[in-house]
Chain A
């Protein structure tokens, strides 16, 4: 094919960035957008906690509160956690496996634009008279249909979720294809670093579970906007829940695995030891992913419409594979020489706090226990320890670990440690009271509770905790902005890294590598070091 190529008109830096098909640019754009939504969703959470600090209604109306928790949950899942997981994978996986580009880069860029569209759709609801979506982040039918929740805000919410899901599918497909087809010649599957494995199982789950969400939401949109009554009848609402949770449970692992991988890398690097128990870890990730596609029904224990025993069995079995990850992370620290950098602190915070979410998860996996705590604050506490204690702490471990690679500059360690030592007590103070409140029968998604229930004290504590978390995140924001401008120059490999991304410049050039070191294990840079020690 020989066609005349016209020279492209000159572009500004911003336009160049927004239209770049370099996987690093797409990953950065997606990640930065996700972090902005993290801040917005956090703001909504602080508003909610402020309302709940005392019984009675003080700050917002019942109506506004319903929008707050709907958009908080939706933001955190659809616009923050899932995109930031994809962003980490898009940026880092090609570097870790020695690829110069991803497969289908324009699809990945389209994924970014769809995410932006999803955010605009979801938040523009606040500008409407009827407000934004208000049927909860899982929008059970028939509450979410045009009779249950009429209004354009809910329509926009439904479209936003479809766009966000498509964005995730496209970007996950790019990462998956890149892992399968673009590994460096000697990079076999069993030489991929733990982070890349965790990203692989995550994107595998995206491409298998997100289509169910697209289907559920598309049918819901048809139900809302046409005369077709898709989810009517005795089984309709049950069908919706199956479709939704077939996505809705795997998604919590989609947003968990890459950060478990990030934590594994941070621990191994800071311990100055290669990751412990690699084959067990890889096997456990794969089994974990397979199992977690088979547990969605535990969200439906109280419907009397499913086989509770089956889902109790599959869900409880997850503790076996999750336990392996603890063994391997702790095994890596065993007999190590650990550098207590911010990335290591957040990795330890991840292990300690996710544990609370994991252990309470075993409680709610047991139907007789779930009959009581389902839809109460016990469950809210449980999943915030998995998503905040797990995903968010893991994300920060990853950010402190890879920031120098991405920007060429170091984040400030003192501010990083302050960030950590504020965020840990904040997380304990915010979410521990929720277990007590939920066990005492405080249901979730209520804007108000009666004063004589005796819930004021614990709710006030929880609200104070949320302010502490907010303060810790402000410290991070200051650190981020300062370090971007004037942080210490990092060099190519400030941490004595293990995997290929540390064998190129910071930030990496457009083609990623000028030269690839030999790959003989999952820690090629450790191999080189050991060779030097021997000679």
Chain B
């Protein structure tokens, strides 16, 4: 299915442009250093001084121009990537929760919105308008259940700064107290990602264990999950998994 936001693709495409350039530059310079160090090594017993050439302004200016071109190319592709698929939505203040003031024509039409509430050291996922809430317990981490396709998120924190990070989507955003960070994520394939989500911003004692599962469902399955889930107690249907993501 086509996604309005595909952060993983965005990342991979750009990464594939960057790494060959980086590896190429590194090879040239390492090789250059090696050649210079070997070729111009002082021979045993040679006490003479080398010829004193200490500038080549035109060559150096040309080299600077080449570097500028490389920088321009990288910036161009970075900007193009940022412009073509933007995951970010305008931020709101915490009081405006529930009424996103984003211009609908500019933001991808996402079917559902999940309010992410981070607090030391757990996550709470509230599904706007569905009356569903996913929270972790003392020994279990919560499961973020989403349908395939684009999903809107609005993240905030109850205490310190946390960061909502889903490595396989190549994406993270910080969650601040008294502030909402809004973004859209596209989920391409159904599947269960055990303890895939994590907190990326250091938040104190149990930062290392502040994880969550990501469970992507087909649209029909998601609708069935919502119906089954509505009206029940918050933790009843959360899969029983310990904090490291193992099924108990």
Listed in ascending order, the chain A residues whose CB lies under 8 Å from chain B are 62-63, 66, 134-136, 140, 142-143, 147-149, 232-235, 237-238, 271-280, 302-305, 308-309, 312-313, 316-317, 319-320, 323-324, 326-328, 330-340, 348, 351-352, 355-356, 359-360, 362-363, 366-369, 371-372, 374-376, 440-441, 443-452, 526, 529-530, 533
Q: Please, which residues of chain A bring their CB within 8 A of the CB of B43?
A: 337
**A-B pairs, 10 with minimum CB distance:** A441-B167, A446-B208, A372-B170, A450-B244, A143-B160, A375-B200, A445-B202, A337-B42, A333-B36, A366-B78
Given contacts A276-B54, A324-B60, A363-B22, contact A335 B40 (CB under 8 A): yes
Taking the complex as formed, is B88 at the interface, i.e. its CB lies under 8 A from any CB of chain A? yes
Q: When the two chains form their complex, are residues B195 and A274 in contact, meaning their CB atoms are under 8 A apart?
A: no
Q: Select from chain A the residue with minimum beta-carbon distance to B78.
A: A366
CB contact list, B168-186 vs A, under 8 A: 168, 170-174, 176-179, 181-183
Q: When the two chains form their complex, are residues A366 and B208 in contact, meaning their CB atoms are under 8 A apart?
A: no
CB contact list, B63-95 vs A, under 8 A: 63-64, 67-68, 70-71, 74-75, 78-79, 81-82, 87-88, 91, 93-94
> Bound complex: CA of A33 vs CA of B223, how far in Å?
65
Interchain nearest-CB distance for B45 vs A (Å): 11
Given contacts A143-B202, A327-B63, contact A339 B42 (CB under 8 A): yes
Q: Looking at the complex, which one of B78, B93, B161, B165 makes contact with A443 (CB distance below 8 Å)? A: B165
Q: Please, which residues of chain B bring their CB within 8 A of the CB of A317?
A: 71, 75
Q: Looking at the complex, which one of B22, B41, B63, B160 makes contact with A338 (CB distance below 8 Å)? A: B41
Q: When the two chains form their complex, are residues B171 and A371 in contact, meaning their CB atoms are under 8 A apart?
A: yes
Residue of B74, B91, B195 ringed by the most chain A CB atoms within 10 A? B74
Taking the complex as formed, is B46 at the interface, i.e. its CB lies under 8 A from any CB of chain A? yes
Q: When the two chains form their complex, are residues B207 and A148 in contact, meaning their CB atoms are under 8 A apart?
A: no
CB contact list, B201-239 vs A, under 8 A: 201-209
Taking the complex as formed, is B102 at the interface, i.e. its CB lies under 8 A from any CB of chain A? no
Q: When the two chains form their complex, are residues A337 and B78 in contact, meaning their CB atoms are under 8 A apart?
A: no
Q: When the two chains form their complex, are residues A362 and B79 in contact, meaning their CB atoms are under 8 A apart?
A: no
Q: Please, which residues of chain A bring their CB within 8 A of the CB of B41?
A: 337-338, 340
Q: When the two chains form their complex, are residues B68 and A334 in contact, meaning their CB atoms are under 8 A apart?
A: no
> Bound complex: CA of A347 vs CA of B232, how far in Å?
66
Listed in ascending order, the chain B residues whose CB lies under 8 Å from chain A are 7, 10-11, 14-15, 18-19, 22, 25-26, 29-30, 32-33, 36-37, 40-43, 46, 48-57, 60, 63-64, 67-68, 70-71, 74-75, 78-79, 81-82, 87-88, 91, 93-94, 159-161, 163, 165, 167-168, 170-174, 176-179, 181-183, 195-196, 198-209, 244-246
Q: Please, which residues of chain B bring their CB within 8 A of the CB of A272?
A: 42, 49-50
> Bound complex: CA of A360 vs CA of B200, how far in Å?
19
> Bound complex: CA of A351 vs CA of B206, how far in Å?
39
Known pairs A148-B159, A360-B22, A368-B14; list 15 more (Cβ under 8 Å).
Answer: A135-B202, A273-B54, A274-B54, A276-B54, A302-B173, A323-B64, A337-B41, A337-B48, A338-B36, A340-B42, A352-B33, A362-B74, A375-B202, A441-B196, A533-B49
> Bound complex: CA of A136 vs CA of B160, how far in Å?
13
Given contacts A274-B52, A309-B82, contact A338 B93 (CB under 8 A): no
Interchain nearest-CB distance for B85 vs A (Å): 9
> Bound complex: CA of A17 vs CA of B2, how far in Å?
72
Q: When the two chains form their complex, are residues B208 and A334 in contact, meaning their CB atoms are under 8 A apart?
A: no
Interchain nearest-CB distance for A298 vs B (Å): 12
Q: Please, which residues of chain B bring their CB within 8 A of the CB of A324?
A: 60, 63-64, 67
Q: Please, which residues of chain A bring their CB within 8 A of the CB of B170?
A: 371-372
Given contacts A338-B37, A369-B11, A444-B202, contact A142 B159 (CB under 8 A): yes
Q: When the two chains form their complex, are residues A237 and B49 in contact, meaning their CB atoms are under 8 A apart?
A: no
Q: When the two chains form their complex, are residues A277 and B159 in contact, meaning their CB atoms are under 8 A apart?
A: no
Q: Looking at the complex, which one of B67, B172, B198, B199 makes contact with A323 (CB distance below 8 Å)? A: B67
Q: When the two chains form their complex, are residues A238 and B176 in contact, meaning their CB atoms are under 8 A apart?
A: yes
Q: When the two chains form their complex, are residues B29 and A143 in contact, meaning their CB atoms are under 8 A apart?
A: no
Q: Please, which residues of chain B bring their CB within 8 A of the CB of A66?
A: 202, 204-205, 207
Q: Please, which residues of chain B bring their CB within 8 A of the CB of A450?
A: 195, 244-245
Q: When the two chains form their complex, are residues B37 and A333 in contact, meaning their CB atoms are under 8 A apart?
A: yes
> Bound complex: CA of A135 vs CA of B195, how far in Å?
25
> Bound complex: CA of A367 vs CA of B176, how far in Å?
19
> Bound complex: CA of A227 vs CA of B133, how far in Å?
35
Q: When the two chains form their complex, are residues B82 and A368 in contact, meaning their CB atoms are under 8 A apart?
A: yes
Residue of B36, B40, B202 ringed by the most chain A CB atoms within 10 A? B202
Interchain nearest-CB distance for A533 vs B (Å): 8
Interchain nearest-CB distance for A91 vs B (Å): 26
Q: Please, which residues of chain B bring their CB within 8 A of the CB of A371?
A: 7, 11, 87, 170-173
Q: When the two chains form their complex, are residues A441 and B198 in contact, meaning their CB atoms are under 8 A apart?
A: yes
Q: Please, which residues of chain A bring their CB within 8 A of the CB of B181?
A: 303-304
Q: Please, which residues of chain A bring their CB within 8 A of the CB of B40?
A: 271, 333-338
Q: Please, which residues of chain A bring their CB within 8 A of the CB of B56?
A: 276-277, 331
Q: When the two chains form their complex, are residues B171 and A276 in contact, meaning their CB atoms are under 8 A apart?
A: no
Q: Please, which residues of chain A bring their CB within 8 A of the CB of B25?
A: 355, 359
Q: Looking at the complex, which one of B49, B60, B198, B201 makes contact with A140 (CB distance below 8 Å)? A: B201
Q: When the two chains form their complex, are residues B167 and A452 in contact, meaning their CB atoms are under 8 A apart?
A: no
> Bound complex: CA of A530 vs CA of B173, how far in Å?
61
25 contacts across the A-B interface (CB closer than 8 A): A62-B205, A274-B52, A276-B55, A277-B60, A278-B55, A280-B60, A302-B163, A302-B174, A309-B79, A312-B78, A320-B71, A324-B60, A328-B60, A337-B40, A340-B41, A348-B37, A355-B29, A362-B22, A362-B74, A369-B11, A371-B173, A440-B167, A444-B202, A452-B244, A533-B49
Q: Looking at the complex, which one of A362, A368, A448, A451 makes contact with B10 (CB distance below 8 Å)? A: A368
> Bound complex: CA of A447 vs CA of B56, how far in Å?
52
